Amino acid sequence: MKVLLINGSPRKAGNTYIAMSEIAKSLELEGIEAEIVSLGTKPIRSCIACNSCKAKGGNQCMFDDDLCNEVTAKMKECDGLIVGSPVYYGQPNGGLLALLQRALFSAGSYFTGKPVAAVAVCRRGGATASLQTMLMPFMMMHCPIVTSQYWNIVYGRDAGEAALDQEGMQTMRSLAKNMATMLNGLKNQPKPEYETRQAMNFIR
Ligand SMILES: Cc1cc2nc3c(=O)[nH]c(=O)nc-3n(C[C@H](O)[C@H](O)[C@H](O)COP(=O)(O)O)c2cc1C
């Protein structure tokens, strides 16, 4: 089994990477493969609601000049997903949100039912709002949300400081254990059969 960890920070060896690495190490101790993908500093387009992904019936965004489709393909292959971001003005990093929105809109079926966790890394505040923002799409895709001993938050400002947040690091290790337990519990379980979705809006 494999967990994909998406690091939304532009800082390659920053605090989010440290938090994700702690989770990855702990997952591997539990016998679960872990891959960290860092979004880095290259531009990531936002969704333009062109619906081309739906029209083509495919599972790809029509823009193929950034990391989105590559990461979407990895999201398809993984058994569990962990999304991590630094907090910017009380919200996750914009590039990460752009990528998630395009991946989910173009290939939402890839994610249905997979266990998901979010991790927010900040100097001081805005982590819980960021956690909610990252989890919102997955909460409408039958994804079990994986939690820990505390909210999945690590504190630090300058790159490297996260390693000093001992409680935060412990929270990451507990999260990894819970993800492993969830994945092992779901292994070989049949997927629930859902009713055909009734899609309604509020004006008709
Ligand atoms: C543009 C910007 C906005 C930020 N806004 C917040 C914030 O709202 N709350 C906070 O606690 N830290 C904020 N920070 C600090 C980062 O969240 C913090 O330095 C974090 O450790 C960076 O993670 P990284 O090393 O993985 O990039 C901000 C940093 C930047 C660059």
Q: Where are the domains of the chain?
A: 2-186
- Of 123, 134, 130, 118, nearest to 172 (Cα)? 118
- Of 63, 77, 82, 68, nearest to 144 (Cα)? 82
**161 Cα nearest atom in ligand 1:** 21
Express each pLDDT in 149-183 by its tens digit: 999 999 999 999 999 999 999 999 999 999 999 99
CATH of domain 2-186: 3.40.50.360
Express each pLDDT in 180-194 by its tens digit: 999 999 999 999 999
The one-letter amino acid code at 28 reads E
- Return the biggest CA–CA distance within the chain: 54
Helix, strand or coil, per DSSP, at residue 119: strand
**7 Cα nearest atom in ligand 1:** 26
Spatial separation of the C-alpha atoms in residues 44 and 74, rounded to whole Å: 17
Give residue 55's pLDDT. Answer: 79
Handedness of CA 187, 175, 5, 151 (dihedral sign): positive
Give residue 27's pLDDT. Answer: 98
Spatial separation of the C-alpha atoms in residues 127 and 152, rounded to whole Å: 9
Confidence of residue 52 (pLDDT cuts 50, 70, 90): very high
Confidence of residue 56 (pLDDT cuts 50, 70, 90): low
Spatial separation of the C-alpha atoms in residues 103 and 204, rounded to whole Å: 29
- Asked whether the predicted pLDDT for residue 15 surpasses 80, the reply is yes
Pocket lining: 168 vs ligand 1, CB cutoff 6 Å: no
Span from the CA of 16 to the centroid of ligand 1 (angstroms): 10
- Mean pLDDT (the chain) is 95
| Single pTM value for the model | 0.96
For residues 27 and 176, the answer to whether their CB atoms sit within 8 Å is yes
| Closest C-alpha residue for ligand 1 atom 6 | 88
Pairing of strands 80-88, 33-38: unpaired
- Asked whether the predicted pLDDT for residue 201 surpasses 90, the reply is no
Pocket lining: 86 vs ligand 1, CB cutoff 6 Å: yes
Express each pLDDT in 99-152 by its tens digit: 999 999 999 888 889 999 999 999 999 999 999 999 999 999 999 999 999 999
Q: What are the angstrom distances between the C-alpha of 151 and each of 113, 133, 145?
A: 21, 14, 12
Pairing of strands 91-92, 80-88: antiparallel
